[in-house]
Amino acid sequence: MATRKMILDLDTGIDDAMAIAYAVAAPDVDLIGIVASYGNVLTPLAAQNSLKILELLGRLDVPVFLGELHASTTDHFDVMPISAQIHGKNGIGEVALPTPKRQVEAKSGVDFLIEAAHQYRQDLIVVPTGPLTNLAKAIKIAPEIQDEIGQVTLMGGALTVPGNVSPVAEANINQDPVAADQVFESRLNLTMVGLDVTLRTLLTKKETQQWRELDTVAGNKFADIVDYYIDVYKITSPHLHGCALHDPLAVGVTLDPSLVSTLNLNMFVDTTKAMWGRTIGDPARLTEEAPNVSVALTVDQEKYLARFMQYLTTLFKQN
């Protein structure tokens, strides 16, 4: 049993599935639960996808909880067409996986976050790779968890590069900028793993072929899922020559911060119409000491990719 405990907060699409695999394979952390969110797919489907991936990886012990169904400022959520294109309508590259043997937990994802914070305190790591709605609601209900949770490493935002759904906004932040601002301006210890670094960490079919050569169910299924992702990137981002490892990079960085260089900065999320979802330094707090956000600016791609492949290939050999 590792000392550090991790909760993933996922809108389980393809890179979220790789984040689950990385967290399961990592030897220095225990994945204690997954909270489903909306974004790449609707929340209930995200939960089912998480259950399917966990089952594929032989981890029926990790519970999955339903999070919020939509942003804090709306009463519904519709999947963006670009998300359905990138991840497939089923969220996992149109690859068929068996119906999960388990059910989603009855407890809400927000309640699970709060209870885990009380139980594990500084040993708890929370990694949201979708909108920040669940975490914002948890700190609103139980403000004390801001001082209990050891680390929050989020995949989202963009500081030095343009957004991917607007010139200023990254998709996860764009889903609920109000909630994101509440998290960024909280007392939580935050690391932002945004497009600044995730667009530099790329996977190609050279790597997925290595999974196929294992001749295991998990290796073949993950290769099918990720190859779909790579093929879509050839259409949407041909200049990258691979698919970005957005969500699994956040898991990697929270376990090994030396993978990235960072800028410590007090930040906020702009919720004005013109700059909706922009993650930027907070002018009102620029001179305050001890900023609460570390923004990843550069990444050691080779070191991370080698570890990513080592972890996942070893895991897929066993499943």
Active site residues: 11, 246
Give φ, ψ of 168 to 5 degrees. -120, -15
Pair of tokens at residue 70:
């939509």
Q: Please state, in angstroms and as integers, the Cα–Cα distance from residue 79 to each residue in 37, 178, 211, 226, 235, following that order.
A: 12, 19, 30, 20, 20
What sign for the dihedral angle of Cα 56, 5, 8, 160?
Answer: negative
Q: What is the DSSP letter of 235?
A: H
Pair 112, 35: CB distance under 8 Å: yes
Pair 54, 17: CB distance under 8 Å: no
Report angle CA 15, 249, 292 to the nearest 5 degrees. 120
**Burial degree of 189 (CB within 10 A; 0-12, 13-18, 19+):** middle
